[in-house]
Amino acid sequence: MTLQIPFDNSYAALPEGFFTRINPKPVAAPRLIHFNEALARDLGIEADASDPALAEMLAGNRIPDGADPLAQAYAGHQFGGFSPQLGDGRANLLGEVIDASGRRRDIQLKGSGPTPYSRMGDGRAWLGPVLREYVVSEAMHALGVPTTRALAAVETGEKVFRETGALPGAVLTRVADSHIRVGTFQFFLARRDLDRLRALFDYTRARHYPQAETPGEMLAGVIGRQARLIALWEGLGFIHGVMNTDNTTLSGETIDYGPCAYMDRYHPQTVFSSIDAQGRYSYANQAHVIVWNIAQLATCLVPLTPDQDLAVEEFTKLVHDMPALIAKYRSEVFARKIGLSAAQDGDDALVDDLLALMQQDGADFTNTFRSLGDGAPRDQFTDRDAFDAWHARWQARLKHETDPEAVMRAANPYVIPRNHRIEQMIAAARDGDYAPFDRLMTALASPYETRDEFADLTRPPLPEERVQQTFCGT
């Protein structure tokens, strides 16, 4: 067998209305681009990457034994506007496996053809967004951020048509702790379907929060995971770009790398997404938006409680306390970035003053923090006197630390998937050259390690290389 997946499916056993059973639509000429063998082993998947038939299964032309393909239903707030029915318009959940650590993981094909939720779309993906998600999601995993993973990418041998014309098609095989979203709960609340809403709560609680006994306890668990996730994003200068409620997971993973990007020059209001005209999902707004999104989840959970007035009071307090929790995690993340093993009073001001200097001078986010531990940070600034004053305060604080350089090296990556490098990689792949993709994958597998052979990947973009906008790629 080319591909043996030990499926153990549970979502497919939920009642009618949670999904539509549908097979992926076959493609013309699938060809494997990349197969994540290390992840496959962790998932208990046996595969022969050299067998051309593997691409047939990962493109959806053949259904693996034990799979139960389906498209999931969900709703969601998109840029603040509610859509009562969204769903997997170009994705297909093949099934689930239990990995080496005992976690249940979804295996999903993305770009696998139209479904009842496609909303006039073609259900396909083009090569660029598939490679972007592959690179960035695997980089996020290596950076220590909860995220979906990439198991494989396959060319389809077909063209997809977008505003820019005909583009090469591709399919991504995505792995997630689950694809349950805030929007999944909103789907049933919008229909006032309390039976299925409760079934979804019971399933989600058992899968992700088995210690939770009540909706309030599960809500607190989701808040904790999402608060930590946002702090980790901020610590990397990461901007998701489309933080709709249908892209907010109950598992606490980063999902859907559409118009995502990492900042080069630091500015808190940085936006890349071409569809975020108002800056709703800017870097600085992410901490506010996630609270709003979780408030929508809280609204969905209220009808499941025996005393709804009491639940509103309890859930409101949990949501109102969330900004302070995000701030706590942020303090911990940024304390490590400047070499502090634990945050203390006054450390936030030290960090914020550095960020203000970076904003003023247009300093590179990643390189400035990395240079604090193993470089010449003064060179990142034009106002050297202002930096010197900050540096003196910082050095006085570091006198209480035993090994700040080690703390900083573990907290500040040497290399990240910069936008201009991703665009260059995609352009090469469109011409059939996957060497830049392979090189990025190698460099990003160990992002905290200084390696001179990848020094060019740490360089900020030249003016003509700057990526001003990113796109969803649907």
Distances (CA, A) of 189 to 13, 68, 154, 306, 460: 20, 26, 37, 16, 46
Catalytic residue numbers? 246
Token pair in block for residue 153: 């990418």
> At a CB cut-off of 8 Å and minimum separation 6, what does 317 contact?
none
Q: Which of 463, 445, 462 is nearest to 454 (CA)?
A: 445
Contact 162, 126 (CB under 8 A): yes
Cα 229-446-260 angle, rounded to 5 deg: 45
- Cβ atoms of residues 246 and 74 within 8 Å: yes
* Contact by Cβ (8 Å): 374, 450: yes
Residue with the two structure tokens 């494989």: 152
Residue 141: partners with Cβ closer than 8 Å, 6 or more residues away: 147, 149
Q: How many CA atoms lie within 13 A of 123 on its CB side?
A: 22
